[in-house]
Amino acid sequence: TKLQTEFPTYHVWYGQEWSMPGIQKCGGAPVDWEIWPSRDKIKDHFNLVAEEYGILPNCHLNTNVSNMDTVGKVSDRDRYYHLTVTPVKFERKDKQGGGALKHQMGGKEDKFKDVTEGHMGTPDPDKPTFTQNVSTLACWPGALVYPRPVIYKGEENFGGPMDYAVEMRFDYSHVPGKVVCIVGHGAFTME
């Protein structure tokens, strides 16, 4: 797990062809970044790589595919997918603490019906829906972002702050000078 969460494992400068002194791909390997970069530093990293390799004009961020039609037979070499794409806005945090956002609460507020509810964002009224033809589809829904809630016996009697270390939920100002218990394994525990 430590290997999974350490900075050197997941970045474009991994390996000698990228990280040796004098190599300037993607601005050269960083020498002063923290081991676990902040969200904003990771966003900067992704943007740097996407710009360097020229893929940004082909990226449509903050969107959901609201419809897909397959055009052509499975055996056709020129078969493609005609997508209807809806720009969306997501509720995000810019500071640590405050607990879960509405879409993370579970129950009736947490729905996966269509682009108007749940984790799929809210349609952006300032941006029109558009269509896009593509030859292939790849989906990375993400992982390690929505924990399975576990209720521990006596949790309601604890009296201290409790939360999951995701989506900037926990207010870490409660931690210094305290005895802290971290329950879990893998990347959530490391986070």
- What percent of the chain stands above pLDDT 70? 74
Measured CA to CA, the distance from residue 31 to residue 7 in angstroms comes to: 12
pLDDT band at 3 (very low <50, low <70, confident <90, very high): very low
Question: pTM for the full model?
Answer: 0.63
57: Cβ–Cβ under 8 A, 6 or more apart, which residues?
none
155 φ/ψ angles, rounded to the nearest 5 degrees? -55, -40
Contact 93, 167 (CB under 8 A): yes
The 10 Å Cβ neighbour count of residue 116 is: 14
Closest C-alpha among 159, 142, 149, 156 to residue 184: 149
What's the confidence (pLDDT) of residue 116?
45
- In the chain, the amino acid numbered 19 is S
Question: How many distinct helices (H) and strands (E) make up the chain?
Answer: 4, 4
Q: Does the pLDDT value for residue 179 go beyond 70?
A: yes
The confidence score (pLDDT) of residue 4 equals: 52
Do the beta carbons of residue 58 and residue 67 sit within 8 Å? no
- Placement of tokens 């595919």 in the chain: 65
- Taking residues 29-54, report their average pLDDT: 81
pLDDT tens by residue, 84-136 = 999 988 777 888 888 777 666 654 554 444 444 446 778 899 999 999 999 98
Matching residue, tokens 């055996």: 75
Tell me what the pLDDT averaged over the chain comes to.
78
More confident site: 123 or 35: 123
pLDDT for residue 9: 57
Which residue has better confidence, 138 or 157?
157
Higher pLDDT, 72 or 170: 72
190 confidence band (pLDDT: 50, 70, 90): low
